[in-house]
Amino acid sequence: MKNIVILISGRGSNMEAIVGAGLPAKVAAVISNRADAPGLKFAARSGIPAQVVDEREFSSRGAFDAALEVTIEGHSPDLVALAGFMRILGGDFARHYSGRMVNIHPSLLPAFPGLHTHRRALREGVKLHGCTVHFVTPQVDHGPIIAQAAVPVHARDTEMTLAARVLHQEHRVYPLAIRWFVEGRLAVENGIVRVDGSNARQALLAEE
Ligand code: GRF
């Protein structure tokens, strides 16, 4: 059974979706960079070791990354899943977990990397928006794309309604992408991710 370590900073709804998906893997630990992350309570209630590497206790990014790595390694991870982990990780850290660390980002990358993706999508007047699960590389919100889910943008959407529609898809696509990983079905060739041996669809569309 493969071990997954999930990193969170806040609410943790994606973590809950992963935990609740009945994956053929063990969520070995949930780790937060913030002691007050609400998601930690869910982890503890679910019997999953929940730990904090408090970013305020470290004076440099390098020192924080090193402590985080030690904590993660304590759980022998096969996969590290960033789930609303709102902290930029250093290049060395990203390289250490190359090919075994994934992230979910609330936009159809490469559009709208960074913050406030829903606000920016509305400002640009895009007609499709969504979310992306990708392997993590040293470049933030940029790495081989495993799966994406798209939603329509409605004329009356606000940042909140659009975020909710996208989040619903995040909860579908992230467990799916992680399932492919733990089942050993992902291969990356020249930066392109393929899912082998099935009709697995890497593009999901919201059901309206
Ligand atoms: C999600 O929208 C995720 O894509 C983004 O931050 C949000 C975290 O939500 N990176 P949650 O903590 O998983 O509920």
pLDDT in tens, the chain (208 residues): 999 999 999 999 999 999 999 999 999 999 999 999 999 999 999 999 999 999 999 999 999 999 999 999 999 999 999 999 999 999 999 999 999 999 999 999 999 999 999 999 999 999 999 999 999 999 999 999 999 999 999 999 999 999 999 999 999 999 999 999 999 999 999 999 999 867 788 999 987 6
User: How far is residue 203's CA from residue 173's CA, in Å, rounded to a whole number?
Assistant: 9
Q: How far apart are CA 141 and CA 106, in angstroms?
A: 10
Dist. CA 108–CA 203, nearest whole Å: 11
Residues 194, 188: Cα–Cα separation, whole Å: 6
* Residue 40 CA, ligand 1 centroid: distance in Å: 14
Q: Is the distance from the beta carbon of residue 9 to the nearest atom of ligand 1 less than 6 Å?
A: no
Taking alpha carbons only, the member of 173, 33, 12 closest to residue 83 is 12
Cβ–Cβ under 8 Å, residues 177 and 146: yes
Specify the ligand 1 atom closest to the Cα of 15: 13
198: left (phi over 0), alpha (psi -120 to 50) or beta: beta
Q: How far, in Å, are 157, 178, 181 from residue 78 at the CA level?
A: 39, 11, 10
How far apart are the CA of 14 and the centre of ligand 1, in A?
6
Q: Which residues are identified as catalytic?
A: 105
Please tell me the pTM assigned to this model.
0.97
